[in-house]
A and B are shown apart, each in its own frame.
Chain A
Amino acid sequence: MFKPEILLVDDNPADLDLTSEVLARNERPKRVSSVMNGVEALGFLRHEGKYADTPDPDLILLDLNLPRKDGRAVLAEVKADPLLRRTPIVVFSTSQAEFDIMQSYNLGANSYVTKPGDLPEFVQAVESIENFWFGCARLPRKEEQ
């Protein structure tokens, strides 16, 4: 059975915990990895250094305001990289600013979800993302590593 790989990129440990916890709530088997800044995220995706053996994610949940290299820069780099660009990126941020939403889509985000400030809504948002990307959408075929 298909076991999706999900990469969480977020500098807030509380958000990483919450998202992982919510992802673990349903039956769908999956593997969740997380990194806490933009430089690490690109290292992970390019299998650099300690990330030599990491899997290619099927989906990236990307926060926008990150230390070292922020989410917008990560988005721009991934979407400009012919090997990485096909990996769907869901921007998952607290920001509701029109500017952030526009900019994310302009940079090639596959969707933009504002993190809800209410637990049931948060659970629902994460479930919707999972159900869409792993239950409804067809994902690009991964090259064998």
Chain B
Amino acid sequence: MIAGELIVEAEAQKLHAKGEKLSVLMVEDSVADTELIRRELEHGGFDLSSEVVQTAEEFARQVHSNSFHVVLADFNLPQWNGMEALELLRREGLDIPLILVSGALPDITAVDCIKQGAADYVLKDRLARLPSAIRSALQEKQLREERKRAEHELAQKVEELARSNRELEHFAYVASHDLQEPLRMVATYTQLLAERYRGKLDAQAEKYIHYAVDGAKRMQTLIQDLLAFSRVGRQDTTFAPVDCNLILHQALESLQLAIRESGAVLTYARLPEVMANSSQLLQVFSNLLANAIKFRGSDKPNIHISAERQAGEFAFSVRDNGIGIASENAQDVFVIFRRLHTRTEYPGNGIGLAICRKIVEQHGGKIWVTSREGRGSTFTFTLPVTEPVPAAQEKFKQEYVQA
């Protein structure tokens, strides 16, 4: 019952909205012409309410005391002209479409009027065009208002974003200083305590001290990791052509020790050049390779890095023969602080892959893993192919030569 009533009411409102009177302000000194205009509008399907003014003072009073949908102004009145009405509307910041309805007008004046902001002009001997001129003027006004609203919303969003960025900066500072300081006190003084009373405390007490120091230190690294994660994208994000082979070599260099200790065997195919932030890309490669070494099984790590072009992107893969990931956890590994193992099994905070995902997404790519538990994993990420621009250079050369 209630739903039915609501529908009827909504329909009624719609009809009411449709049947709303068009409220017109006419700037006109000829009674005969006002009558002709009225008749033409009613004929054109408008339900009309109108006021007629002849002087600038009356016009000013009317536009302030009533809200009109449209102003129809004769160009030549004895005391003033339609352009002055336009000027007044602009000065007062009133967005009411004004259509000039006039006798023969020199072309130059008509164009000028439109330039000055008149919505349209209609000759008095072609009044049949007036209803459609009004409809499109109203429509334009509606579009104008929607655009203005959208621009306003956009400006607000930009301002909000700037504010939240400032807050984030501040948060990062608090995290890097104000949160670290008390933690440092806990860690160092507990260590100092242990040092001072070494040999005087029983094993239990030593263990408790170890727990306290370990907790404080873990908290320190968590804060560091959180900072590193929030820094991705806020710091230098300039993209430049990057040779991925060089990046790979840098990554391997930084992992030298782990590679040697684990006896890992690494093979790689030739990699392409991409548009990227080189230090961020290095981080992606380093994190993926470090994981491939860390999450190894009983065999020595065997890792292969390759890239292939698929349509508009390069797909880079890091394949290993490690412990793999159960399919139900394949998405989880990219979530910040999500870990699939205890710290005693595999150290780490669960930040590396979250950072990889953030970086790859910022480069316009995707990252995922295909794996079978116990049978190794393949991490794949994509980066868009960006063509070099010799064509533009060629064009420049040609123009230069011609000039």
Contact = CB atoms under 8 A, between A and B. Distances in A.
Interface of A: 12, 14-15, 18, 21, 65, 93-100, 115-120, 122
Interface string B163-191: 00000000011001100110111011101
B171 to A, nearest CB: 12
B192 A18 contact: yes
B176 A117 contact: no
A145 B217 CA distance: 46
A117 B187 contact: yes
Interface in B247-294: none
B181 A118 contact: no
Nearest to B193: A119
A12 B180 contact: no
A116 B185 CA distance: 10
Nearest to B196: A21
Given A14-B185, A18-B192, A117 B173 contact: no
B220 A97 contact: no
B176 A95 contact: yes
Nearest to B184: A117
B195 interface: yes
B351 to A, nearest CB: 16
B180 A18 contact: no
B177 A118 contact: no
A117 B217 contact: yes
Contact of B191 (A97, A98, A115, A119): A119
A99 B173 CA distance: 9
Contact of A96 (B176, B187, B188, B189): B176
A79 to B, nearest CB: 22
B216 interface: yes
Across the A-B interface, give the 9 residue pairs with the lowest CB-CB distance, nearest first: A119-B191, A117-B184, A95-B177, A94-B181, A119-B188, A117-B220, A96-B176, A97-B176, A94-B180
A96 B185 contact: no
A115 B187 CA distance: 12
21 contacts: A12-B185, A15-B185, A18-B188, A18-B189, A18-B192, A94-B184, A95-B173, A95-B176, A95-B177, A95-B180, A96-B180, A96-B227, A97-B173, A98-B235, A99-B173, A100-B177, A117-B188, A117-B220, A118-B188, A118-B217, A119-B188
Given A14-B189, A97-B172, A122-B188, A117 B183 contact: yes
Interface of B: 172-173, 176-177, 180-181, 183-185, 187-189, 191-192, 195, 216-217, 220, 227, 235
A141 B136 CA distance: 86
A25 to B, nearest CB: 11
A12 B181 CA distance: 10
B205 to A, nearest CB: 17
A99 B217 CA distance: 24
A134 B235 CA distance: 37
A21 B195 CA distance: 13
Contacts of A21: 192
Contacts of A15: 185
A97 B188 contact: no
Contacts of A116: 184
A11 B177 CA distance: 14
A71 B173 CA distance: 16
B186 to A, nearest CB: 9
Nearest to B231: A98
B204 to A, nearest CB: 21
Contacts of A12: 181, 185
Contacts of B220: 117
B195 to A, nearest CB: 7
Contact of A94 (B177, B191, B195): B177
B233 to A, nearest CB: 15
Interface centre among A12, A14, A18, A94 (most CB of B within 10 A): A94
Contacts of A120: 191
A10 to B, nearest CB: 11
Nearest to A21: B192
A21 B192 CA distance: 10
Contacts of B181: 12, 94
B180 A117 contact: yes
A76 B183 CA distance: 29
A95 to B, nearest CB: 4
